[in-house]
Amino acid sequence: MTATAWDPSQPILEINNLSISFFTRLREIPAVMDFSCTVMAGEAMGLVGESGCGKSTVALAVMRDLGKNGRIVGGSIKFKGRDLTNMNEEELRHIRGSEIAMIYQEPMASLNPAMKIGAQLAEVPMIHEGMSKDDAWTLARQIVADVRLPDPDRILKSYPHQLSGGQQQRIVIAMALMSKPALLILDEPTTALDVTVEAGIVDLVKDLGEKYGTSMLFISHNLGLVLDVCDRLCVMYSGEAVETGAVADVFDRMQHPYTQALFRSIPLPGADKNSRPLISIPGNFPLPHERPNGCNFGPRCSYFTAGLCDKADVPMVDIGGHDRHGSRCLRVDQIDWAAPPPAKAAIEKGEIGPVVLRMEDVRKYYEVSSGMFGGGAKKVVKANETLTFEAREGETLAIVGESGCGKSTFAKVLMGLETATSGKIMLYDRDIQSTPIEKRDTGTVSGVQMVFQNPFDTLNPSMTVGRQIIRALEIFGQGANDQERSARMLELLDLVKLPRAFADRMPRQLSGGQKQRVGIARAFAGGAKIVVADEPVSALDVSVQAAVTDLLMEIQRKNKTTLLFISHDLSIVRYLADRVMVMYLGHVVELGTTDQVFSPPYHPYTEALLSAVPIADTRVKRKRIVLEGDIPSAMNPPPGCPFQTRCRWKSHVAGGLCEKEMPPMRTLAGGHQIKCHLSDADFAGMEPVIQIAAE
């Protein structure tokens, strides 16, 4: 170790005018331009931006791991005063893992599947400190206990695939902490995890940062998370840092149009689909080789001034009076930042009509047999239990829950991809429960359609956009001939606000948001009455999410469609849902209007879920309720109430009733249903999880 004298009052990491390019055979593609930032000891710095803005590239440049095609073409990265850009492999190897460590987005992919956890952890001190194998394993055991994993000895001896996603991420964190690094780089560490698990990981990272005094570079697209974790942040757009400063300054006194537009496009508490709709950012993210002259955000900016913003590269300017606050905007001084957004006309609330879909006591069990020839004990996975609800015409019903709660199974049963084990699904007056999709008539099939989560996989890559929509029209028996169908297809493109020229394009030529619009057009091709939207915007960037959500709402109002909106993102659910259904382990634990569900009394699970969602608003005070442990397996659910293993209210119910008996569905005031044993007094005493401080 070359522990050169380093003054702790100096920055740990100092990036100056860093430029990174990727070289292809055709051209040089600049990925990051003129990026500067400083991380002091013990400070947590957030890097925020949409996908493709270059935030991960910066992180990999700090690790000097840009691959064969990537190269640092300018600037310097100083770590503890030493320039990383001109170090050789040997010197880098001593720094990687020992002084700078990294935590990755996908924990499963980041752990070696063929090595035991213990060996992967122990390797770090063995390489860097020459520790003996036994000492390294002892240290590994201690660190595993530090990241709050139960039964460290068993975990050390297991392989990565034997752990849950949250446990894997804790192991990746433990691995990064093995040699007490001075700088920790976290690249979207919780994106692949459920919200309640995410909350636990975020708490852990914050505590460990304080405990070991580690500096952090926290990369995320989630502004709420950055508010929770970081002291300072840097907003990136298309390869440039556009605004940087202390979290409080950037959140409350933003000085760049992109930052402002970003905040206006995310659903914060108070936004409402009718009275205060979101403002989406117009246009598309520029591709790296199609960046405009001058300001990269220019073409999408509402303050754009021709002749000024599109002339030359925009430098970063300091904002006077703030703590190291900078913005890359030429019109900082001319824009009135406190002005409210141009009021978007409030939209009339859509009318809610008669009941179109009713589910009564629907259950879906899967039989899983172990053994090759179907021998061995049969196990029953109860994916859905006693699902009872109704949905009305023109209504948005959100179905909320974490992975494994049975929301996708529910969608499959409704679509007819699976048939329910028992119960009734009434579409208007017909029972469609036992009719699989192959046997449903065209009217039913086109009347119940789906918008899928991942627009990248659900379009046929070798068919033009127009052809795919026409294909759907053919299947749904729409239009008498090809002319009519292609006319209808163009109308559908209009409906989803895509240019008609897109009909001849291939899916690969479209951006994520545009593909999702095609998916929506296809779902509405047969005049769908009920559309199941399975996380339709979660794969999209923040600025595009608002536009796609608005589009869905608009089509819904026009067609009086019933929208079943499956999501884990409570912010967006609060923004657009009329009613919310919360699911846990196959059970509906709470059902009510959005206001009822988002304010007390809560089901204990809803309470935890609400407190786990990070909100990008400094005025919001949240109560922290971190759930212990993982979601139990549906194969082996706990006896009694499904949530009892993680419930913090369990002690309020006398006689261990929660462990013995399945609570009944109780109907509270206003038709609000909660499946819980808690007494009315307990419910009345619940405090709201989210409070907005008075302005």
Partner 1 sequence: MLKFLGRRIFMMLISAICITFVVFFLTNLAPNLEKVAKSEAGSRISDEEVASWLEKNGYTQPLLKRYGEWLGVAPGWTWSDENGVTTGRCIAPGSDPVTTPRYCGILQGNWGNSNVFKSPVSTVIGKRLSVTGVLMFWVMVTMVPISLLIGVMAGMREGSRTDRALSSFSIASTATPEYVSGVIMIVIFASSVTGLKWFKGTSASDVSDITFQNFFLPVATIALYGIGYIARMTRASMTEVMTAQYIRTARLKGVSFRNVVLKHALRNALIAPFTVIMLQFPWLLNGVVIVETLFNCKGFGWTLVQAAGNNDIQLLLGCSVIAVLVVLVTQLISDIGYVFLNPRIRIS
Binding residues (CB under 8 A) for partner 1: these are 63, 65, 68, 93-98, 101-102, 104, 106, 109-115, 123-124, 127-128, 159, 161, 172, 175, 370-373
Question: For residue 497, what are its two tokens?
Answer: 């606000």
To the nearest whole angstrom, how small is the minimum distance from the Cβ of residue 107 to partner 1?
Answer: 10
To the nearest whole angstrom, how small is the minimum distance from the Cβ of residue 94 to partner 1?
Answer: 7
To the nearest whole angstrom, how small is the minimum distance from the Cβ of residue 96 to partner 1?
Answer: 4
Q: How far does the chain reach from its first CA to its final CA, in angstroms?
A: 52
128 vs 485, which CB is nearer to partner 1? 128
154 vs 161, which CB is nearer to partner 1? 161
95 vs 627, which CB is nearer to partner 1? 95
20 vs 473, which CB is nearer to partner 1? 20
User: Do the Cβ atoms of 38 and 13 come closer than 8 Å?
Assistant: yes
Between CA 175 and CA 101 the distance in angstroms is 8
To the nearest whole angstrom, how small is the minimum distance from the Cβ of residue 159 to partner 1?
Answer: 4
To the nearest whole angstrom, how small is the minimum distance from the Cβ of residue 378 to partner 1?
Answer: 15
95 vs 319, which CB is nearer to partner 1? 95
Backbone dihedral angles phi then psi of residue 431, each to the nearest 5 degrees: -90, 115
143 vs 570, which CB is nearer to partner 1? 143
Nearest to 473 by CA among 435, 438, 446: 446
Question: For residue 208, what are its two tokens?
Answer: 């460990």
The residue type of 97 is: G
Chain centroid to Cα 57, Å, comes to 20
**SS3 state at 458:** coil
To the nearest whole angstrom, how small is the minimum distance from the Cβ of residue 360 to partner 1?
Answer: 38
100 vs 413, which CB is nearer to partner 1? 100
The residue type of 40 is: M
Between CA 263 and CA 243 the distance in angstroms is 13
56 vs 222, which CB is nearer to partner 1? 56
Between CA 236 and CA 183 the distance in angstroms is 21
92 vs 246, which CB is nearer to partner 1? 92
Instruction: Tell me how many degrees the CA angle 100-35-74 measures, rounded to the nearest 5.
Output: 90
Nearest to 218 by CA among 230, 227, 228, 208: 230
To the nearest whole angstrom, how small is the minimum distance from the Cβ of residue 182 to partner 1?
Answer: 14
Nearest to 243 by CA among 233, 229, 231, 252: 233
To the nearest whole angstrom, how small is the minimum distance from the Cβ of residue 85 to partner 1?
Answer: 17
Report whether the peptide linkage leading into residue 354 is cis, meaning its omega lies within 30 degrees of zero. no
To the nearest whole angstrom, how small is the minimum distance from the Cβ of residue 249 to partner 1?
Answer: 32
Cα→Cα distances 447→182, 416, 510, Å:
58, 12, 27
Instruction: Tell me how many degrees the CA angle 386-561-357 measures, rounded to the nearest 5.
Output: 25
